[in-house]
Structure formats: C-alpha cells, structure tokens
Amino acid sequence: MAAVHRPHPLRDHPGATRAAVDAFWALAIGVIAAYAFFAALGAFSPGDALGVTIAVAILVLLFVMRALLMRRAGAARRDPRLTHARERRGF
C-alpha cells in the first residue's frame, strides 16, 4: 500500500511560520511590558506572584537570547552590495 504524502504544515509554508513566530514574540513583548507596568505601578509584589514572575523571567531570557542570535545572524545575511552602496554614499 502506498503512503499518502501530506504536506508539512510548517516546512511547506514558510510565510505562515514566520507570521506565527512574529505573533508569538509580539505577544511575549506585550506580556513582559504589562508585567513591568503593573509591577512598577505597585499593583502586585513580584514575590507574591512568584509563578508569573518566573514565567516572565523565562520570556525575558528567551527574548534576549533571540535578540543576540538575530544580531549575530543579521551580519551574515547582509547583502555586501547594499553595504558597499551605503558606504559609498557616506552613511
């Protein structure tokens, strides 16, 4: 019996994957910002909401790791022709 080929939902649709990843990070930044806002406002003590504090700390750690990886990968993905054109213009 022949196997039925079903498309991989993430590999075959890179645009949808990118949109889902971007939506996750936008939501994560929103959660971090809301936590920081309400903690600074004094609505709760970070020690009282220990589970939320740990979850937000993990999100912050993941975001910092992602930012560092994107920064490192960004230099490799730059088109040398664009870099040359920018340097030629004096920017």
Residue that wins the pLDDT comparison between 37 and 78 = 37
| pLDDT score of 12 | 67
Structure-token pair, residue 17: 């994957």
Confidence of residue 86 (pLDDT cuts 50, 70, 90): confident
| Residue 6 domain-assigned (yes or no) | no
Model confidence, pTM: 0.68
For the chain, what is the domain count?
1
Closest by CA position to 28, among listed 1, 65, 55: 55
Backbone angles phi, psi at 10, to 5 degrees: -95, -40
| pLDDT score of 88 | 76
- Residues 17-61 have pLDDT tens digits of 788 889 999 999 999 999 999 999 999 999 999 999 999 999 999
Q: Please tell me the distance from the alpha carbon of residue 55 to that of residue 62, in angstroms, as a whole number.
A: 11
| Residue 66 domain-assigned (yes or no) | yes
| Residue 1 domain-assigned (yes or no) | no
- Cα angle 68, 74, 77; round to 5: 150
| Residue 65 domain-assigned (yes or no) | yes
| Residue 5 domain-assigned (yes or no) | no
- Residues 57-76 have pLDDT tens digits of 999 999 999 999 888 876 66
Is the CB of residue 23 less than 8 Å from the CB of residue 15? no
| Full residue range of the structural domain in which residue 32 is found | 15-89
